[in-house]
Amino acid sequence: MFRYIVKRLLQLIPALFGLSILLFFWLRLLPGGPENTLLPDDASAQQREALRESLGLNEPIIVQYGLFLERLGNFDFGNSLQTGRPVMDEFTTRFPATAELAIAAMLIAVCVGIPLGYFAARKRGSFLDSSAVAGSLLGICIPVFFLAAMLKVVFAEKLGWLPSAFRLDAGARFTEITGFRVLDSVLTGEFDVTASALGHLILPGLALSSIPLAVITRMTRASVLEVLGQDYVRTAESKGLQPTVVRTRHVLRNAMLPVITAIGLLTGSLLAGAVLTESVFAFGGIGSFIYESTQQRDYPAILGFLMLIAIIYVVVNLLVDLSYTLFDPRVRVR
């Protein structure tokens, strides 16, 4: 197992190297450069050119890439041009927000999607089944930003039940340990902050969960349907096993493998793809930062963030792969 993990992590190196080449050269193909947003509207062409020069953007691109790699060797992604802070600091201050939001969305999707998919399959053709199928179709079709805006209008503006933005109310004081507000406040016993952080997670979490929820529901349903038709289920039932045992140990457990794969892939995409939800709810995670960095041609920030996300994506998928062994004893890692 240990060798397997090390091997998988070592595979990251060529993947990251390839990604860095692609990103580095693609980014430079974008028209414009950071000098246009770093200086005021009245800056002259000469002043903008001088800034390009001082940022080293006029060096041959191979030289720039070489310098980038040299820094990367020390795990230094350089400094964000828009904030003037190290890219790594920007990432570590923003990542907990995105991760917390992704976890909330995934929890909603898993806790609702798996039971819903399971019961829809069990009661195939029932009202529950058709509602689940129609609902999941709707979940995939409704654009996230639209759903987010609607949830905000109804539950924050009209009903006033939930906050419309942020991770906590502005000015709320708490003790920060990891940057994960829910976890930190539980660790320090500041339970009013825990409640507030959870309250702030509900609407963005719901909005962001729409697609994973739909996918998980449909996959669970399809997978359970397939397993229900398998010989071993019939055998288990005919030899008189308790229905609960059949359903949990034989059906659900076997049906979970494709669902787990989907969860792994969806979690990865949630980490990178929460841009709209983060913007609508002013959540301040990495998605909105990458968007702003792209607008401003903040090369170091875009490169650093995307590479760090790639690392996290690989690690999440590795964990998912490892979790297969819990569900299917036939899967053994080597």
Hey, which residues between 240 and 299 contact another protein (CB under 8 A)? Answer: 243-244, 247, 279-282, 284, 288, 292, 295-297
Of residues 303 and 318, the one with the C-beta less far from another protein = 303
143 binds another protein (CB under 8 A): no
149 binds another protein (CB under 8 A): yes
129 binds another protein (CB under 8 A): no
- In angstroms, what is the minimal distance from the CB of 178 to another protein? 11
Residue 35's nearest CA partner among 15, 56, 17, 19 is 56
What is the rounded CA–CA span in Å between residue 122 and residue 144?
30
150 binds another protein (CB under 8 A): no
- In angstroms, what is the minimal distance from the CB of 68 to another protein? 11
The DSSP string of 114-164 is HHHHHHHHHTTTSHHHHHHHHHHHHHHHS-HHHHHHHHIIIIIIIS--S-S
- In angstroms, what is the minimal distance from the CB of 11 to another protein? 31
3-state secondary structure of 74: coil
59 binds another protein (CB under 8 A): no
Of residues 1 and 191, the one with the C-beta less far from another protein = 191
186 binds another protein (CB under 8 A): no
Residue 50 DSSP code: H
233 binds another protein (CB under 8 A): no
Burial class (CB in 10 A: 0-12, 13-18, 19+), 168: middle
113 neighbors 126 (Cβ within 8 angstroms): no
Which residue do the tokens 């991770």 mark?
167
Total number of residues binding another protein (CB under 8 A)? 81
Of residues 181 and 221, the one with the C-beta less far from another protein = 181
Hey, which residues between 154 and 183 contact another protein (CB under 8 A)? Answer: 156-157, 160-172, 179
Hey, which residues between 27 and 46 contact another protein (CB under 8 A)? Answer: 30-33, 35-45
203 binds another protein (CB under 8 A): no
